[in-house]
Structure 1
Amino acid sequence: MLADLVGKAMTPACRKRGFASVDIVTAWPDIVGERYGTRVLPDKLIWPRQPELSDPEKPPQPATLVVHTDGATAMMLSHDSAQVIERINTFYGWAAIGRIKILQKPVRTKQAEQPKPLRSLTEREEEKLDKSLEGVENDRLREALKKLGAQVIAKGTDEAA
């Protein structure tokens, strides 16, 4: 709900910067991955001028994506730019980006949120989980499923409280 309201408010600002919508800005970390997700910020898209009599069947020329990052990351990004362009174009579903222009300036990185520690399972929950895994013969698989099950149970309900 809040994302819809924020998205509607941000869309006009994004359009001024050449983005058709807020999608690339909000999905940026997922698109470019962990390495560049918080250290590189998309600033704007620069679309080339299209001739007025251009063929409507022909897709538009790819844009230049302007990004901000620090000096060290800029060097890594310039090396990986083809891969990043490919990931962005996969997100859009067509060759929207042709090149990346890197502007060096400090980027405030977001601190990753530390997950809350999970509560311990009650004896009843432990017994129920063990009983549900009785048919699993592979020890490693059973332990992995038990660990996953304990996390799901601990996050899903709060019987201990």
Structure 2
Amino acid sequence: MTPLCRKRGFASVDIVAAWPEIVGPRYGKRVQPDRLSWPRRKNADGEDIAEPATLVVHTDGPTALMLSHETPQIIERINAFFGWAAVNRIKINQKPVTQRVGTLPVSSRPLSTDEKSRVDRQVQGVENDRLREALRKLGEQVIAHDKTGAG
């Protein structure tokens, strides 16, 4: 996918993969980044001038209207993701958005009493209650999804 992303102006798949987290739940599935259009300008010495890009996205009509009112915030989130002012404009094209095919969650097997006890023993030294509970849940999920049966 990286060659395709480069062809579309993206340096990597990062922005495409992180798009739902960048724009949030309102636009994550309803707006798709299409390409980054970088201006080609040179200074008097013939060296490239680094200028922010235009991000071209596509979405349906009603979402385009909402997005157009929130472009400053979206640009701010995108630039925070990149760590620099990479984008200064969003161009919205109205066309259907293709839905990404998600993977179905894998059902986990129930844990034995011994497996649960082992996880509880491993996290019992953690003082913070919330962290201990999160680690316990993680440990149980790791064991439940272990394909080797080693748990």
Per-residue CA distance 1:82-121 (angstroms, 9 max, x = gap): 1211122223332121111111111022243331111011
Q: Which of residues 21, 34, 38 is equivalent to 2:25?
A: 34
User: Number of residue pairs matched?
Assistant: 150
Residues 133-142 or 73-82, more deviating: 133-142
| Structure 2 unmatched runs, 5+ | none
Report the Cα distance in structure 2 between the residues aligned to 1:133 and 1:94, rounded to whole angstroms: 40
1:156 is paired with a residue of what secondary structure?
coil
Is residue 102 of structure 2 the alignment partner of residue 112 of structure 1? yes
Report the Cα distance in structure 2 between the residues aligned to 1:87 and 1:44, rounded to whole angstroms: 17
Q: Which residue of 1 aligns with 2:36?
A: 45
TM-score (norm 2): 0.73
Letter of the aligned partner of 1:156 in structure 2? Answer: D
Report the Cα distance in structure 1 between the residues aligned to 2:127 and 2:33, rounded to whole angstroms: 50
Q: Which residue of 2 aligns with 1:155?
A: 145
Q: Which residue of 1 aligns with 2:76?
A: 86
Taking only aligned residues, the RMSD between alpha carbons, in angstroms, comes to 3.2
Residues 103-112 or 23-32, more deviating: 23-32
| Structure 1 unmatched runs, 5+ | 1-5
TM-score (norm 1): 0.70
Q: Which aligned pairs between 1:6-25 and structure 2 lie closer than 5 A? A: 6-7=1-2, 9-11=3-5, 14-15=6-7, 17-25=8-16
Percent identity reads 57
Determine if contact 1:122/1:159 at 8 Å carries over to the other structure.
no
